[in-house]
């Protein structure tokens, strides 16, 4: 695991976009495609904008890049709460990417069906592999230590060993999330964390190792891949 502290969200986003472009080039050259999964929340917005800018975008063969999502909220895809919408508005609508390379989670469906359909889509794409291997998964962390839509009290989703995607029922809204076996099977995992409101949980997860397991984000520990935390100074404050 590597931890890199950068000044602010702008610096994190620049670094993340550089990493994305380099990995895209590397995997397209070696295997003909680059398969990544992105998250929601507000943090990735600037990263998406940078990726869509000429500087980055001109260096990526988008026809060979596939986007999946680490999680989705069960809302219409036009909703401001939709993780798909955030990526679509700031990135996907601005680049030349074939529609079939965008593998969104259907949040409009009843979450059990949405999760099942998403799992089918992942299995179709990756073929017979038991647990798919994403080239890159980009994650965020909530103030309660959740990541993707894996929440601290949601033991059913945290304990899932065989399903690739599961529904998660929360008070505010239902969600669909990739499970820990899938997340931890990625080649590269990148956390983007910004803001003072995350300082306590970041300290618990990264500095006080005893507490790491109390938080879903602390359970991200790639089996074969590497894990990089990009944290801004405010979030690293404690
Ligand atoms: C979601 C997420 C979630 C997110 C964190 C951080 O759909 O809410 O994917 O895990 O990454 O909550 O969110 P912020 O970037 O808004 O802090």
| Helix 44-52 with 83-90: angle, nearest 10 deg | 30
Kindly report the pTM of this predicted structure: 0.97
Q: Is the CB of 194 under 6 A from ligand 1?
A: no
Does CATH place domain 2-176+190-209 in 3.40.50.1360?
Answer: yes
Question: How far is it, in rounded angstroms, from Cα 121 to Cα 102?
Answer: 11
Q: How far is the CA of 147 from the centre of ligand 1 (A)?
A: 7
Q: Is the CB of 13 under 6 A from ligand 1?
A: no
pLDDT at 222: 98
- In order along its 238 residues, the chain shows pLDDT tens digits of 999 999 999 999 999 999 999 999 999 999 999 999 999 999 999 999 999 999 898 999 999 999 999 999 999 999 999 999 999 999 999 999 999 999 999 998 788 999 999 999 999 999 977 899 999 999 999 999 999 999 998 999 999 999 999 999 988 899 999 999 999 999 999 999 999 999 999 999 998 878 888 999 999 999 999 999 999 999 999 9
What are φ and ψ of residue 178, in 5° steps? -65, 155
Question: What tokens does 210 get?
Answer: 């005893």
pLDDT at 148: 98
CA-nearest residue for atom 9, ligand 1, is 40
100: Cβ–Cβ under 8 A, 6 or more apart, which residues? none
Question: How far is it, in rounded angstroms, from Cα 112 to Cα 169?
Answer: 10
Closest ligand 1 atom, CA of 194? 17
């Amino acid at each position: 695991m590597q931890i890199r502290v950068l000044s602010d969200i702008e610096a994190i986003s620049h670094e993340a976009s550089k990493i994305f472009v380099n990995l895209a080039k590397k995997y397209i050259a070696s295997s003909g495609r680059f398969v990544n999964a992105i998250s929601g929340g507000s943090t990735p917005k600037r990263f998406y904008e940078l990726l869509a800018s000429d500087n980055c975008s001109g260096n990526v063969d988008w026809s060979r890049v596939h986007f999946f999502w680490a999680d989705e909220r069960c809302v219409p895809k036009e909703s401001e709460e939709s993780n798909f919408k955030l990526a679509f508005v700031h990135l996907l609508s601005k680049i030349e990417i074939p529609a079939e390379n965008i593998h969104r989670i259907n949040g409009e469906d009843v979450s059990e069906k949405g999760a099942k359909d998403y799992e089918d889509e992942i299995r179709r794409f990756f073929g017979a592999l038991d647990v798919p291997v994403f080239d890159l998964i980009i994650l965020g962390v909530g103030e309660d230590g959740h990541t993707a839509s894996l929440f601290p009290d949601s033991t059913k989703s945290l304990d899932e060993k065989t399903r690739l995607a599961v529904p998660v029922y929360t008070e505010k809204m239902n969600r669909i999330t990739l499970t820990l076996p899938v997340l931890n099977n990625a080649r590269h995992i990148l956390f983007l964390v910004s803001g003072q409101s995350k300082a306590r949980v970041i300290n618990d997860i990264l500095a006080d190792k005893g507490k790491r397991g109390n938080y879903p984000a602390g359970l991200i520990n790639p089996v074969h891949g590497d894990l990089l935390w990009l944290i801004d100074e405010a979030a690293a404050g404690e």
